[in-house]
Structure 1
């Protein structure tokens, strides 16, 4: 599991440095990326020059608050900061070549560039704020990003997004792109670029064929969600977790594994609110769930596939704090229940669990690692809320306030859920006691994984099933 936070605007690839600064103005694209879904990155902005009415995209930017945006210092170097002319940001955009009906354009009225940024002497302090004259209206396509704590350190993989080129000097895309890139240590990055070029205020990330490129000045986030695996786990047996589901987006080619989910009744599934936040709840036409699956690439003749026709998220779900992180999925026709496909048992209202639990999923083996083909599971010890709050406060994350009474903490060194396990089950005895929700890192003894406490939401499930 990963905590979703803004940690950088412009990711530097671990590769031989180009003689052309990678974030100069110019039309370019994410390298090795994938088409984003509408609303997948609601904080992503297109920063445009509208001189002569040409609406030229030259940099990315990020929504922070409705009237304050964040971008790179080099994107605004040389502009009239107090009275910028012909500059605008566009929020809610997906395809730059078409009117998606979700865009909000705002004129930039003030630029605040970091006072210690110098375009000619390195890229230290490469940050600026943009103020707009009319505040953005937040909705499912436009919303602000969460800042990390001062000095917070990130490892593993990050996700970068933008409309930059596919290759150095190549063509630009119309559709927003994103890619997952491994974050590299400062020492490794300095070995590649030279010690004098990499400052403590920078993050390096990238691998061969995956990177951000010109005009893709963008957000870098810790990964949260897809194609990852249980840490420290064991291969599951066929039918061992008959309530385990895989949750897919068929708009991607091939189908994109999104999250885990859980069979409750033959026509009602349970998952996390975070897994479905970007999808149309009344018409999720691209989503399918697969039951009875063990190996994601083999036809085991036990699988059953159903279309998701409706999503019901908890009204109180907050993607920033992970409160009320639960949702139901309704499918087009019931599953045929058998030894490989069956529902889970809900706990009693307010039921308390202790000791060890089992978590399962197809998430990554490690933070930033690759995903498995075969379903994994692992036993993890549960912690009291007080112990969990103390852990998240005492190790520099300062996130103890996020641990609510309706959450469960569990995990130990080298045993945890990870990215891609979200929405999957935590099983205590015969009961569904938790839903994989969030955490910091994967398998880090300092930060146990955090799960939605199902016994707190029994009435909500019954009222909405």
Structure 2
């Protein structure tokens, strides 16, 4: 399933609405005692390139309207997942979401500090396929620049950061349990880059999706317990100090034998170059 919440009622509604998820197929049960899943709160100042996507108009005022994650790869460029900007997620074409913005440098989504920067324009990978999850990439151009220290380098093809067994960290403000317990602060979970064969075995096709090693990256723990979850989509997977993946999809959250699937950043570099 894509790791995003469904659009909730407008902020004008006086009752809080719990976000649901968009399933690709029957979700596997999450690890109930995991406490992103299996991670911990981290200071935003230590990972200033991790940003939250927000629209209070579409997702309400709770948690400042956060609905996906993103990562700054230049002072005015943020990468996220293409599925975060789908019309069925936002309730309209992304061009009609007038308050789309990113939240950067803020420890608590509803708290003080940091900044909220409007999104000036969006680019969605024309090769994105919502049925297979391939090509799951979008680029946001910001209305004003973030500080120069708020960006992270991307890992090119052939980087040792992609080697199976490499320690990695996934960041996000999403569900921490698999049951709708969304985080008000940035969290991170330690995972490992897994062999492509693990994801091919977990996702051979059908209702759970098909893994494509040319555009996707597999990370997590085959025993379960550490993973991205709903609300983390588009957020960064970092290894060896470089961006290697964007949270894309998976079955359940932290479920054994169902590792997380990420957009492979080396492929994203190719897609962006072709789109210039």
Task: Give the 3 Å change call, closer, same or farther, for CA 464–380 of structure 1 in structure 2.
Answer: same
Q: Which residues in structure 2 correspond to 1:164-313 (within 5 Å)?
A: 230-252=36-58, 253-254=60-61, 255-278=64-87, 280-282=93-95, 284-299=97-112, 301=113, 303-313=114-124
Matched residue SS, 2:57: coil
In the alignment, what sits opposite 2:9?
34
CA distance in 1, matches of 2:79, 2:3: 21
Structure 1's unaligned 5+ residue stretches are 5-32, 37-144, 157-228
Aligned length, in residue pairs: 247
When the two chains are superposed, the root-mean-square deviation of aligned CA atoms in Å is 2.8
Q: For residues 340-368 of structure 1, give each alpha carbon's deviation from its aligned partner in whole angstroms, at most 9, with x where no partner exists.
A: xx111011245451222110011111112
Closer/same/farther in 2, CA of residues 328 and 322 from structure 1, 3 Å limit: same
Tell me the CA shift for residue 397 of structure 1. Answer: 7.0
Name the residue aligned to 2:192: 381
Answer whether contact 2:119 2:142 (CA < 8 A) is retained.
yes
Alignment check: 8 A CA contact 1:231 1:418 kept: yes
> Relative contact order (C-alpha < 8 Å, sep 6+): which is higher?
2
Q: Secondary structure at the match of 2:271?
A: helix
User: Which of 244, 258, 268 is matched with 1:433 structurally?
Assistant: 244
Question: Over alpha carbons, which structure has the higher Rg?
Answer: 1
Q: Secondary structure at the match of 2:203?
A: helix
* Structure-to-structure mapping, 1:89-128, within 5 angstroms: none
Shift of 1:297: 2.4
Superposed CA deviations along residues 277-296 of structure 1, whole A, max 9, x for unmatched, are 22534454220101112212
- What SS does the corresponding residue of 1:246 show, helix, strand or coil? strand
Contact 2:44 2:186 in 1 (8 A): no
TM-score, scaled relative to structure 1: 0.49
CA distance in 1, matches of 2:136, 2:27: 25
Residue 401 of structure 1 aligns with which residue? 210
Asked if the contact 2:68/2:231 (under 8 Å) is kept, the reply is yes
Native 8 Å contact 1:284 1:310 kept in 2: no
Tell whether 2:250 aligns with 1:444. Answer: no
Does the 8 Å CA contact 2:173/2:231 hold for their aligned counterparts? yes
Q: Structure 1 pair 283/375, CA: closer, same or farther in 2 (3 Å)? A: same
The alpha-carbon distance between structure 1 residues 147 and 266, as it changes in their structure 2 partners (threshold 3 A), is closer
Q: Please, which of 219, 227, 233 is the counterpart of residue 422 of structure 1?
A: 233
**Alpha-carbon distance change, 243 to 392 in structure 1, aligned in 2, over 3 angstroms:** same
C-alpha contact (below 8 Å) 2:132/2:210 kept by paired residues: no
Structure 1 234/245 Cα, relative in aligned 2: closer, same or farther at 3 Å?
A: same
In structure 2, distance between residues paired with 1:463 and 1:269: 17
TM-score scaled to structure 2, two decimals? 0.80
Q: Map Cα deviations across residues 35-65 of structure 1 (whole Å, 9 max, x no partner).
A: 59xxxxxxxxxxxxxxxxxxxxxxxxxxxxx
The alpha carbon displacement at 1:377 in A equals 0.4
For 2:210, what is the secondary structure of its paired residue? helix
* Cα distance in 1 between the residues matched to 2:132 and 2:274: 24
| Partner residue of 2:152 out of 344, 354, 361 | 344
**Alpha carbons of structure 1 residues 441 and 147: separation in structure 2 relative to 1, 3 Å:** closer
Q: Which has the higher helix share?
A: 2
Q: Flag the 1:297–1:35 CA change in 2: closer, same or farther, 3 A.
A: closer
Q: CA deviation at 1:34?
A: 2.0
Please tell me whether the aligned partners of residues 71 and 80 of structure 2 are also in contact (alpha carbons under 8 angstroms). Answer: yes
